[in-house]
Amino acid sequence: MVEVKLYRLKSLDPRLRQLEWSNLEREIDANPKKFMRYRLYLRSLLWSRVQGIREEAWRHLHVYKKLNASGIERAFESRSDRIKITAWEHAKEAIDMDLVSREEMVKLSQHFWRLLRSYYPTVRKKAWKVFPTLVQLNIIRKKDIPRFMQFLKYAKPGVRVMAWNAVKFLLDSQIITKEDLTQYLPYLVELTNRDSVVARRAKNILVNLN
């Protein structure tokens, strides 16, 4: 039997964290009841402000499943964009493991939209990468598309071009049509009239759409 030192799950040393998660998994398989009283502590790791600690916890959702942990949905509505995006990156796993119901996730989706225009570029990039998955999971639904379309003319070029980058997926999925885009195309063309990375991306998107 290995002594589990739960405080190491908060270690800044990734090797120690990984070792302790392995020890915890092994001991939970042998005696899950022993760790039931630590569920709140383990759940708090999902919204740790330290990125490595938080992401390591989300990679071990199966541990939370074995312990019948509840309240995980709180991470999806965190005030911190960084904490919130980590949760949304694992939305599919949380649903698949019945840790959060699909119905609950649909209600929580209102908190996702802000991430698409987050102050933090890394968060925005991750959110737009997650966007197609949420559409496929029917968390973002047909009725939400008008809200998406507003991003196609968003004032901030970096946000606008990422929205246009998602258009091909929505077209291929037959969620929108080219006719739906007609009134918004000038906003894409406008982005091409610049000397920047955004302009180059916009030009590529325009070529692909045509």
Q: How far apart are CA 49 and CA 210, in angstroms?
A: 44
Residues of the chain with pLDDT under 70: 1-2
Q: What is the pLDDT of residues 173-205, one digit of tens each?
A: 999 999 999 999 999 999 998 778 999 999 999
Query: What tokens does 181 get?
Result: 């885009």
Q: How far apart are CA 196 and CA 190, in angstroms?
A: 12
Please give the pLDDT value at position 1. 61
DSSP state for residue 12 in the 8-state scheme: S
Q: How far apart are CA 58 and CA 120, in angstroms?
A: 21
Q: How far apart are CA 86 and CA 126, in angstroms?
A: 9
Q: How far apart are CA 132 and CA 111, in angstroms?
A: 16
Check if the beta carbon of residue 71 is closer than 8 Å to that of residue 42: no
Check if the beta carbon of residue 85 is closer than 8 Å to that of residue 123: yes
Q: How far apart are CA 71 and CA 87, in angstroms?
A: 13
Please give the pLDDT value at position 183. 95
* Nearest to 42, CA basis, from 71, 84, 2, 15: 71
Q: How far apart are CA 45 and CA 58, in angstroms?
A: 8
Helices (H), 49-196: 51-58, 61-66, 81-88, 91-96, 102-108, 121-136, 145-149, 157-165, 167-172, 178-181, 185-192
In the chain, the percentage of residues whose pLDDT exceeds 90 is 94
